Chains A and B, each alone.
Chain A
Amino acid sequence: MIEVENLTKYYGPRKAINNLTFQIAQGEVVGFLGPNGAGKSTTMNILSCILPASSGTARIKGYDTFEHSIELRKIIGYLPETPPLYPDMSVRDYLMFAAQVRGLTSKQTGSAVEAVIEKCSLKNVSHRIIGRLSKGYQQRVGLAQAMVHDPDILILDEPTIGLDPIQIIEIRKLIQQLASSHTIILSSHILPEITQICQRVIIINEGEIAAVDSLEGLTASLRKSERLSLTVRNASDDIEKKLNSINQVLSVLPGEKNQFLIECALNSNLQDEFARLALDNQWGLVEIKPLSMTLEDVFLKLTIEEKDVKA
């Protein structure tokens, strides 16, 4: 559905993105991840037909985003990082305007606005002035304008930025509901959000793609060791020494309240060994838990290691 090939964009002499290549299939929910200034918003702006690329191509349903931008804009809904809201308009008037400029006819506009107000739970505030709404509601209105014309593709640039935890959960739920019927590209700084919503992650760092894969795929490809958490009731003074003495244990780090984080060689399966050791030494085994790699780990590993390599 979306094919990006060697996409490059310069702002003056500065290269914002460099040779990006990736594909997104219909119905997929893809997360864009990267530090500030990595080129996420630039890529989203090109895909939304707002900016032309300096070189390379971005195609949606086979149409070039620059050459067929007017046609493509009809099937794309875009929520920029700062929602494009007119603070002096009421929610309903604003959505009517957004529907009309997105090409809906007068007949379609009324029902489309009602539907999106219902979907985004804006009924209670539909007659209120946007400038007087809370940040959470403003973000909902921003999301509503992006989907008022029922686009096939939703491009959401940091949709939960600046919201409080409850508002974040609400917006996240809304996006999860939309995921069943739309292709969604989402950028976020909140890594658990990407983990919860997205099927695939594109990590961009300094304008280049650092990785494209599912979270499981990324974790597997980057995993060079296994981590376990061991919790006991009565840790002896020599517990670290005894754990380290086991073959294939790479390191032992003491955690909180008799908890130890143990790094072992890949596929070493040492759980039985640890259990036996705990029983023999009467440590009072409470828990042995394998720890999976979080998206934070993957993200930091990719972005920081890449920097180190470049340096």
Chain B
Amino acid sequence: MRNAWIIAKRDLGSFFNSPIFYVVTTVFLIIYSFIFFNILNFFSFQSLQAGQLQAMGMNLSLNEMVIEPSLQNMSVILLMIIPIITMRSFADEKKTKTFRLLLSSPVPLREIVLGKFLACMIVVTVMISISSYSIGFLFLLGEPELGPIVTGYLGVLLMAGCYVSVGVFASSLTDNQIVAAVMTFGFSLFMWVIGWGAQAAGATAGQVLQFLSIVDHMERFLKGMVDTSDLVYYLSFILLSLFLCHRVLDSNRWR
């Protein structure tokens, strides 16, 4: 683990010294904030209407009507942003031939893969953490429930972990950063929409497709529930992608 952390630290230094991190984070925050404040605006409009029509007996919840859709939208933005963060991982090392430094060092390949994953995950976590100012804002205005917020963020982080692991894997397949980013986006999007084919696929196949859908597993996290099957799904997804990445890099040495 020591080597993984050394490699992650170097990559983090490179991220924070380059304009890419600042541009990507700014774009992410602008889009997220725009969506968040529109949702909040819609919520306040609904609240006003509910106040005027008390007879309707509507129970408006900040968690359900603001935080839940905001986090859902955040996961869509991350789908587009994360490939830009992960595309450098191995593709850039291979292109600039710096990967030979790591390959000739006494560092097992698995620690190199883990280090790359860790660096990207930390960058994404920093971005998500900055965006949580919106939740603080809600605590100033009202009294949202803390539990679903914590599990919701856990769900977003796990989903981001899946995107990152796919990104690191895609980056190991090529020395072209653009190709790596497109592959990451394409595969992540596919895993997002795979559940849409459930109805047409029949009962059993439909259930399988539904289970494979990356977005379906987040629903319960957003509702404040932590289901073991969702945790197992996300963690297995991440481990499988990192394992494939390891195999690709190892097989490169034999070809």
When the two chains form their complex, are residues A50 and B97 in contact, meaning their CB atoms are under 8 A apart? no
CA distance A84 to B94 in the complex (A): 10
Chain A contact residues (Cβ within 8 angstroms of B): what range? Answer: 20 to 34
How many whole Å from A105's CB to the nearest CB in chain B?
10
- Which residues on A are within 8 Å of B, measured CB to CB? 11-12, 48-52, 70-71, 73-74, 76, 78, 80, 82, 84-89, 93, 97-98, 100-103, 145
List of B residues within 8 angstroms of A11 by Cβ: 255
- Contact between A93 and B6, CB atoms less than 8 A apart: no
**Does B14 have its Cβ within 8 Å of any Cβ on chain A?**
yes
Q: Indicate whether A97 sits within 8 Å of B6 (C-beta atoms), given known contacts A50-B103, A70-B108, A78-B104.
A: yes
- Judged by DSSP, the binding face of B is helix
Q: A52-B253, A88-B18 are in contact. Are A101 and B102 (CB under 8 A)?
A: yes
Shortest beta-carbon distance from A6 to chain B in Å: 18
Structural contact, A48 and B253, CB atoms closer than 8 A: no
14 A-B contacts, Cβ less than 8 Å apart? A48-B104, A50-B100, A70-B106, A78-B104, A84-B96, A84-B98, A86-B14, A86-B96, A86-B98, A97-B6, A98-B105, A101-B101, A102-B106, A103-B105
The answer for the CA separation of A73 and B109 in the assembled complex, in Å, is: 13
- What B residues does A145 contact at CB under 8 A? 101
A101 to B98, CA, bound (A): 13
Q: A52-B253, A52-B254 are in contact. Are A76 and B98 (CB under 8 A)?
A: no
C-alpha gap A254/B143 in the complex (Å): 102
Contact B104 A73 (CB under 8 A): yes
Please give, as numbers and ranges, the residues of chain B lying within 8 Å of A84 by CB-CB distance: 96-101
Which among B10, B18, B98, B105 is the interface contact of A102 at CB below 8 angstroms?
Answer: B105
- Whether B104 and A76, one on each chain, are in contact in the complex, defined by CB atoms closer than 8 angstroms, is yes
B255 touches A101 (CB 8 A): no
On whether A80 and B100 interact (CB within 8 A), knowing A73-B106, A93-B13, the answer reads: yes
Asked whether, in the complex, the Cβ of B101 is within 8 Å of the Cβ of A74, the reply is no
Is B3 part of the binding interface, using a Cβ–Cβ cutoff of 8 Å? yes
User: Measured between alpha carbons, how far is A74 from B13 in the docked complex, in Å?
Assistant: 25
CB of B107 within 8 Å of the partner chain: yes
Quick check: B106 and A74 within 8 Å, CB to CB? yes
B7 & A101 in contact (Cβ 8 Å cutoff): yes
Q: Is the CB of B3 within 8 A of A85?
A: no
Q: Is B17 located at the chain interface by the 8 A CB criterion?
A: yes
Is A101's CB under 8 angstroms from B254's CB? no
Within 8 A of A (CB), among B93-150: 96-108
Closest to B9 in A: A97
Question: Which residues of A have CB within 8 Å of B104?
Answer: 48-50, 73, 76, 78
CB neighbours of B10 from chain A (8 A)? 86, 89, 97
Task: Give the docked Cα–Cα distance between A84 and B13 (Å).
Answer: 17
Write out the residue numbers on chain A whose beta carbons fall within 8 Å of the beta carbon of B254.
52
| Minimal beta-carbon separation of B213 from chain A (angstroms) | 39
